[in-house]
Structure 1
């Protein structure tokens, strides 16, 4: 883990496991997201290395080129986090749900307690290795049903962009890997660091809803009213009581029509979305101000410190006090202790 003590600094080491048939876009996501964060002294907070399950050399992609990987499976033994991007040539893993001897030997090098993550069909690797038995996980919506049949012990959620189950995280397909990696940066070093990475990468720091909003849905007719204005209106008033009818009135819709349209566009209910935004507002205030807890609760729309505590405990797995202690005083100099769950 990264240390804040002068002379004892070590960046969090991320090993990206490249398998034949990998998608170049997804391989690049961890390097882009984790390669950006720096502390106040300009030191990289992460060290990212790409490795193969076999000795260093070329790894085939699903494009018309290969990538030259400089590290073999020994890199997995020194990682704090191991990420498995998608691959379209998983062979017996994809067809039968079992690891090859080479891949099993490589995974055996991972130290106990290492954080594991997958992007898209990389989840097959974690599932076949037994890391997901009895645990929640996700993958690309188009592959979720097949994945569930092959690994019935896994609790598959095909609606979300990613699942954080503490030491094992999984994401939906392709660009959801960006959401997952930003989430891990936010969990490790706080909202301010993650938001800075998002700005530099020109992506939203947090996408509303889940992959359900991308499943078999046509592009909205520009003549049809949306809920965009209502969401913008609410974001400017998170500290005020906001009822569902208030949101519907902003779009001149009935509550029923607004609720249906909102879920179609965002993928979750208006109430769930409001809670998410208020949690994010509370996180920002806890990180960037010394306001008393009661005031943070009022400013973020939770009204009481007890209510805010309950919502942050449910969303982040830590109390507001613990969150502030982890990210307000140490900032990017220290590794966060918040075990965020989603």
Structure 2
């Protein structure tokens, strides 16, 4: 018997294809060191019937709504323009009852994008804070005035019920759940497997680590590799350029061509990434993390993390250490 955490993805007519694929990819990428997966993901529809997708093709599921009765997590994918729930705020009674029953027995329920309309139509969001795609906010408020809608955030975590904004925010929400369930390292590795940003909480910005390109005779990669080993030390642009036998001007130009940013910005980003990792995995104080990451002082670290990630080091640590 498969005892992995069961995620049931509910697809209705006009299902958004991206939203349908997101949980399958993200949750399937969450694995331990032995490549064992933590989740099993199954797709269901009312009556197990085929549904039309936003991509104008038909999806044939393997399960009906009975899957919701055994799922640990129920995820409602978004629906595209023309779906009835977006027009009049109603859903089939069997869908409403199945979702309510899932919540009543303690399942975790979430939505991606306009899937929030489905949860609201089932009466699950009344009196709660929620979000959906910003372009549907006015219509959502008109149909569901008792929901505290916040269209300015990527996702809202209300504990047992979570909602997210459009498309990419569904990725953020799924990673958020992996992080909540299994900690930062597993979530980050899942993100890397899917080549997506590992962390974009709320409406905050997300820093994506750039890989070091293959070394060539005219590449700045050796200098970047060396810099990563010496982030805790002062890094001088002339010294970096000399490391690959280039003039500062040539080095700066080629560095930007290869990474998309200036050497100074890249170093700051890498130091923030180092600090992020230390905050997640060690008990070092903020000042100690700052020194190990090359910022020197806690004040400098706070300034850079707030600018790049939108949060203070202490808040970041609280978020991820509590998840582990």
Which category describes the TM-score, using the shorter chain as reference length? 0.5 to 0.7
TM-score between the two structures when normalised by the length of structure 2: 0.67
Matching of residues 318-329 of structure 1 within 5 Å: 323=322, 327=324
Deviation at 1:281, TM superposition (A): 4.2
Higher RCO, 1 or 2 (CA under 8 Å, sep at least 6)? 1
Whether 1:103 and 2:90 are equivalent positions in the alignment is no
For 1:296 and 1:116, how far apart are their aligned partners in 2? 37
In 2: Cα distance, 1:10 partner to 1:109 partner: 21
Structure-1 residue corresponding to 2:142: 149
Alignment equivalent of 1:128, drawn from 121, 124, 137: 121
CA distance in 1, matches of 2:46, 2:37: 26
Paired residues for 1:293-304 under 5 Å: 295=288, 303=298
What is the CA-CA distance between 1:34 and the residue it aligns to?
0.3
Matches within 5 A, 1:109-258: 109-112=101-104, 113-207=106-200, 210=203, 232=266, 234-236=268-270
**Which residue matches 2:73?**
81
Report the counterpart of residue 305 of structure 2 in structure 1: none
Q: Distance in 2 between matches of 1:135 and 1:315?
A: 25
| Residue in 1 that maps onto 2:85 | 93
1:292-324 CA-partner distances (Å, limit 9, x unpaired): 6874587688949xx9xx9688668x688x62x
Inter-CA distance 210–57: structure 2 relative to 1 (3 Å threshold): same
Q: TM-score, normalised by structure 1?
A: 0.64
- In the superposition, relative to structure 1, how do residues 73 and 22 fare at CA in structure 2: closer, same or farther (>3 Å)? same
The corresponding residue for 1:254 is none
Looking at structure 2, the residues matched to 231 and 156 of structure 1 have their Cα atoms a distance apart, in angstroms, of: 36
C-alpha distance in 1 between matches for 2:14 and 2:170: 17
Partner Cα separation in structure 1 for residue 316 and residue 79 of structure 2? 31
Aligned to 2:14: 21
After TM superposition, give the deviation of residue 36 of structure 1 in Å. 1.2
How many residue pairs get aligned? The number is 257
Counterpart in 2 of 1:52?
Answer: 45
Deviates more, 1:45-54 or 1:33-42: 33-42
- Gaps of at least 5 residues in structure 2 are 206-260, 303-310
